[in-house]
Each structure stands twice: as C-alpha cells, then as structure tokens.
C-alpha cells in the first residue's frame, strides 16, 4: 500500500460492522408491510404491474416467517442472472419430504413490495451432499444435482426472490435471481452487487473474510456461486434485503425507465451500458473486476451518468473463473499481490486492493471520493444547500441524524481526484478514535456525464423511514428523485456542471 494512503479496517472491526448491518436487516424486513418509502407516487411505467405474467398476485406476502434450522431447506441457481424467457436450474437441498418454490418480483407493489409471479408444483425433497472445501484456496462448493428447471417466460426484468418452502412449514429460505434487461437503451441500470454478496457469504464455513478455524489467515482466496447464501443473517438472499431492496421499491415508484443487471453482467458484457442513461450501484458494491471497472469508466466517458449509493465501492480487485456450471462462477480475491500466483504471470490481474502497490489504481478516479474507515456512526451534515440536488430541501449545517455509516468515503487529495468536484455533505465523523469527514460528492466530465457518490452505506436505508431514514427520509427521497430524473433526461453533468467547492470547505492537499 502506498505510504500515506488509508488502509482497510481490521477483520475484527469488519465483524463489528457486520453486526450493525445485520441488525438493520431485522429492522427493515420485519412486520407485515413492505418498507415505506417517500414520494414520488405510483405509476404505470414499463416496470410496473402491467408487465407481469397472467395470474400474478400484487402485494403478495413474500417474507420468511419460519427460517427453520440451518440447512433445513436451502438452494442456489446456476445463473446469477438470466434474460426473460431463459431457463434457470435450481439446486435445492432439504430435510423435508417435499417443498415448493415461489417466485416474487420485488418492486412497487403495495402494501408488501412484492408480486408473486410463479409457484411450482409440490416437489420431492432430498438432503444433498455436504459441502466440499477445495484446497488450496479453501473454496466451498455444494456438489449437488439439479432439482428443477424454472421457465422465466413472461417474467419482466427485475430483482426476484425465489422462496423455498419446506412442506412441514418449519423452514423457508430465499434464492436471489436477477432477470436482466436485454437492451438498456434509454434506461437507468440498477446493478445488483452479487460479487459483494458472495464475498461475505459464509455458507460451508468459509468466505473471503472468515474460516471455520476462526483465523483470518485461513479464509477463502476464491469463493463460488455454486453454493447457497448462508441462512443466518442473509436468509439466503445475499445482501439484497438491507443494501438494495429499499432502493428497488423507491426507483420503481418513480416511473422512470429502469434496467436490471448484476456485477457479473457488468463484467461479462462490455456493451451492457450502451445507450443507457445511467448506472446505479447500491449500498455495498465493494468487489470489482478489471472488466467491470473498464465498462463503467467507458460508459461515463461517452455520457452515461453514474451513481454510487454506498460507502465502499471498487475497493477489492477480483477476477473470475469458470466452473462446471458455467462462466464467471468463481470469484478470486487473495487480498494480496505477492500471495496471488497471478502476480507472476499477469500482474495487473493479481488481486490486492485496487489502491495497493505495485500498480495502484485508486477508486477515487471513478468515484470522486475515497474509502476511509469502519465502523462509523454520525449525522449527515449539509455543506452545499445551493446544489441542484439539495436546493430548497435543506440549509447549510443541517444535520440528517444517523445517516453516515457503517463505512464511509471522503474527498482525499492524497489520491487522484476528478475536478471540478462538489461536496454536498461534509460530515464530521470519528472512526477508530480518529476525527475525519464523510463526503457525498458530485462531479462532471467533458462527455457531459455526472457522477454522484453518496459516501455512506446508509443512503439507501435513509430512503426508508422505518430503516434509518426517520424524518430525514423525505429529504433523501427528494434528492434521490432529482438525481434519477436528471439522469433519465440525459448527460446530467452537462445540465448541472459541478462547481468545485473544496477550497471553501478547507479541503486541501496534506
């Protein structure tokens, strides 16, 4: 790591942060109604209920009420995303004699935020093989046989949860699935951060952070999508419930044209963002490949707007490998240049952090701001009330309680930073005993594109009054609506060029 550059928090602090996050999962997914989100009002856009297949049930009860014992029912799909009409093969294991699968499209479907689009017949259950830990990278694989094929014909693009229900009523889990938009021309593309979900997935005892031994040194160096997401905390849904679901509901209420994709799609298809109006990454999109970054950067440089609604994006450098189930099913991250064997054969594809030596490529080049620290908790403090996203909503110095955390970013001129750049929120925060600031930023580039980075993982939770938004939810909602509306109209940086305010805020080179 280059001298003077802030580093990642220790594994122990990561665990502390995850405890706080998983507490929010319970807060945002409990109760009998879907997460409440502020205006804009419902509409009948292309992503609304009119596009659902016949027999769909709007406002369906989708939540897990009886998760059951660990491994009582669980599963995974052979694809992280498919296009509508493509088949999906599910791999399910259960201790029950029978089970069913119910597919829910998540979005603007009051009062629950879900539409039931498909229910399987009752299927015979069986307990599949125990996980296998593959040496030397401690990669956990579920060596299972496929149990059913799901036909997605008639399902519109979007974010889906497939709920597995054991017939004894004592166990339920999710399998997440994205139906990707075949053509994103004119759309705002919502990217599900499946690479980060998988990095933290401890199913089978190992993740890119954890090992069955409890020693960080024994963690996985490669994780695979050929296994379920853990039941505890994730409910089998990855990080979708806390970091992404409130935004999906909110965005679909806007009536704006949306597209859907995953990080794997962004990696695999350099044309994914051709013709798109914007790309939106959500609350925790930490793990990026070279191809993901190249596709997003090229899109920005031809006028596609970008929004990063988290506080720790593009931090970990990954690469993909294929498995027997298909391409790009294994995610490799050694978190070290010298330990990664690829450092000796293709050094630019080795997997230290993006910012690390010997080939530092800090995330600030694309984000504008730069990851700093966790765990943190602080108020979001307004620094530029005259900015087009905030004008008439807030006053300088106004505090939006509790909206900075758990991870955050700030403008850090020790690393390459695009200019002009405008800091909208400049929030005092203390992390690990060190006083600092969290910065939400807006910058524009010659192509006309605009780039917004929230600089906090809690922005999306802030859209929901029942999560972290509270009385600030209408403000976060109105600012987000302005952002999405401007993105949908075209290159937002041309319409709203950034006015550099770093000197006025005392942000200078160290």
And the tokens for 109? 């479907």
Fold of domain 1-30+277-314+366-510: Rossmann fold (3.40.50)
And the tokens for 174? 């999710």
pLDDT at residue 234, as a whole number: 85
Q: Which residue has the tokens 């399910």?
A: 92
As a three-state string, the secondary structure of 237-299 is CCCHHHHCHHHHHHHHHCCCCEEEEEHHHHHHCCCCCCCCCEEEECCCCCEEEHHHHHHHHHH
pLDDT at residue 450, as a whole number: 98
Question: Is the peptide bond between 465 and the residue preceding it cis, with omega within 30 degrees of 0?
Answer: no
Q: Where are the beta strands (DSSP E) in 13-138?
A: 57-58, 73-77, 81-82, 87-94, 98-106, 114-119, 123-124, 132-134
- List, for the chain, all residue ranges whose pLDDT scores fall below the cut of 50: 1-49
Question: How far apart (Å, rounded) are the C-alpha atoms in residues 293 and 287?
Answer: 10
Question: How far apart (Å, rounded) are the C-alpha atoms in residues 495 and 59?
Answer: 38
pLDDT at residue 7, as a whole number: 38
List, in order, residues 6 or more apart from 385 with CB less than 8 Å away: 391, 393, 394, 395, 396, 398
What is the Cα Rg of the chain in Å?
A: 22
And the tokens for 372? 């700093």
Kindly report the number of other CB atoms within 10 A of residue 406's CB atom.
26
Kindly report the number of other CB atoms within 10 A of residue 33's CB atom.
12
Backbone angles phi, psi at 25, to 5 degrees: -55, -45
List, in order, residues 6 or more apart from 250 with CB less than 8 Å away: 37, 38, 463, 477, 480
Q: Which residue has the tokens 């939540």?
A: 63
Kindly report the number of other CB atoms within 10 A of residue 315's CB atom.
21
* 24, 27, 29, 35: CA torsion to nearest 10: -100
Three-state SS for 405? strand
Question: How far apart (Å, rounded) are the C-alpha atoms in residues 245 and 27?
Answer: 13
Do the strands 188-192 and 258-262 form a parallel or antiparallel pair, or are they unpaired?
Answer: parallel
List, in order, residues 6 or more apart from 11 with CB less than 8 Å away: 209, 216
Question: How far apart (Å, rounded) are the C-alpha atoms in residues 363 and 130?
Answer: 39
List, in order, residues 6 or more apart from 345 with CB less than 8 Å away: none
b/e per residue, 132-169, with b = 16+ CB within 10 A?
Answer: ebeeeebbbbbebeebeebebeebbbbbbbbbbbbbbe
pLDDT at residue 169, as a whole number: 80
Three-state SS for 81? strand
Q: Where are the beta strands (DSSP E) in 110-202?
A: 114-119, 123-124, 132-134, 139-141, 148-151, 158-166, 172-179, 188-192
As a three-state string, the secondary structure of 212-240 is CCCCHHHCCCEEECCCCCCCCCCCCCCCH
pTM of the predicted model as reported, rounded to 2 decimal places: 0.91
Q: Within 13 Å of residue 143, how many CA atoms lie on the same side as its CB?
A: 7
Tell me the domain boundaries of the chain. 1-30+277-314+366-510
- pLDDT, tens digit, 9 for 90 and up, residues 187-203: 999 999 999 999 999 99
pLDDT at residue 8, as a whole number: 39
Question: How far apart (Å, rounded) are the C-alpha atoms in residues 330 and 332?
Answer: 6
And the tokens for 509? 């080179």
Q: Which of 387, 378, 383, 374 is nearest to 478 (CA)?
A: 387
Backbone angles phi, psi at 133, to 5 degrees: -100, 115
Do the strands 148-151 and 87-94 form a parallel or antiparallel pair, or are they unpaired?
Answer: antiparallel
Question: How far apart (Å, rounded) are the C-alpha atoms in residues 213 and 205?
Answer: 9
pLDDT at residue 50, as a whole number: 54
Helix axes 11-29, 245-253, angle to 10 degrees: 50
Beta bridge partners of 99: 123, 166
Question: How far apart (Å, rounded) are the C-alpha atoms in residues 161 and 159?
Answer: 7
And the tokens for 154? 């008639």
Question: How far apart (Å, rounded) are the C-alpha atoms in residues 178 and 160?
Answer: 6
């Amino acid at each position: 790591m280059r001298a003077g550059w802030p580093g990642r928090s220790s594994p122990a602090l990561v665990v502390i942060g995850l405890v706080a996050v998983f507490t929010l999962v319970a807060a945002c997914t409990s109760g009998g109604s879907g997460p409440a989100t502020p205006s804009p009002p419902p509409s009948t856009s292309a992503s609304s209920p009119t596009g659902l297949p016949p027999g769909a049930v709007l406002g369906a009860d989708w939540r897990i009420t009886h998760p059951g014992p660990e491994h009582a029912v669980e599963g995974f799909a052979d694809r992280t995303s498919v296009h509508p009409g493509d088949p999906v093969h599910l791999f399910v294991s259960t201790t029950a004699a029978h089970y069913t699968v119910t597919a829910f499209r998540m979005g603007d479907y009051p009062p629950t935020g879900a539409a039931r689009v498909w229910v399987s017949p009752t299927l015979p259950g069986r307990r599949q093989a125990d996980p296998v830990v593959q040496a030397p990278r401690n990669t956990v694989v579920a060596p299972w046989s496929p149990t059913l094929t799901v036909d997605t014909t008639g399902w519109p693009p979007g974010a889906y949860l497939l709920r597995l229900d054991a017939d004894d009523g004592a166990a339920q889990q999710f399998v997440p699935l994205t139906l990707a938009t075949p053509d994103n021309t004119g759309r705002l593309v919502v990217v599900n951060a499946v690479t980060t979900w998988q990095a933290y997935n401890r199913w089978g005892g190992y993740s890119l952070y954890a090992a069955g031994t409890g020693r960080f040194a024994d963690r996985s160096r490669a994780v695979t999508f050929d296994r379920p997401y853990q039941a505890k905390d994730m409910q089998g849904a990855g990080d979708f419930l806390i970091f992404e679901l409130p935004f999906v509901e909110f965005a679909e209420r806007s009536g704006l044209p949306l597209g859907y994709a995953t990080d794997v799609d962004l990696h695999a298809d350099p044309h994914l963002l051709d013709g798109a109006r914007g790309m939106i990454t959500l609350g925790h999109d930490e793990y990026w490949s070279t191809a993901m970054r190249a596709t997003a950067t090229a899109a920005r440089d031809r006028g596609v707007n970008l929004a990063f609604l988290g506080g720790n994006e593009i931090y970990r450098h990954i690469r993909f490998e294929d498995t027997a189930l298909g391409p790009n099913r294994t995610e490799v991250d050694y978190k070290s240049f010298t330990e990664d064997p690829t450092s000796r054969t293709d050094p630019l594809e080795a997997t230290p952090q993006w910012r690390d030596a010997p080939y530092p490529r800090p995330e600030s080049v694309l984000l504008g701001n730069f990851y700093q620290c966790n765990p943190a908790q602080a108020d979001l403090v307004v620094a530029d009330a005259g900015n087009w996203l905030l004008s008439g909503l807030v006053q300088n110095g106004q505090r939006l309680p509790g909206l900075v955390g758990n991870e955050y970013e700030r403008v850090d001129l020790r690393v390459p930073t695009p200019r002009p750049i405008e800091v909208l929120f400049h929030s005092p925060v203390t992390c690990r005993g060190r006083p600092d600031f969290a910065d939400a930023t807006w910058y524009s580039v010659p192509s006309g594109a605009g780039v917004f980075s929230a600089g906090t993982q809690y922005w999306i939770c802030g859209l929901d009054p029942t999560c972290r938004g509270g009385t600030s939810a209408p403000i976060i909602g109105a600012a987000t609506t302005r952002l999405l509306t401007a993105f949908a109209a075209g290159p937002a940086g041309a319409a709203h060029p950034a006015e550099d305010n770093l000197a006025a805020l005392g942000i200078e080179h160290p």
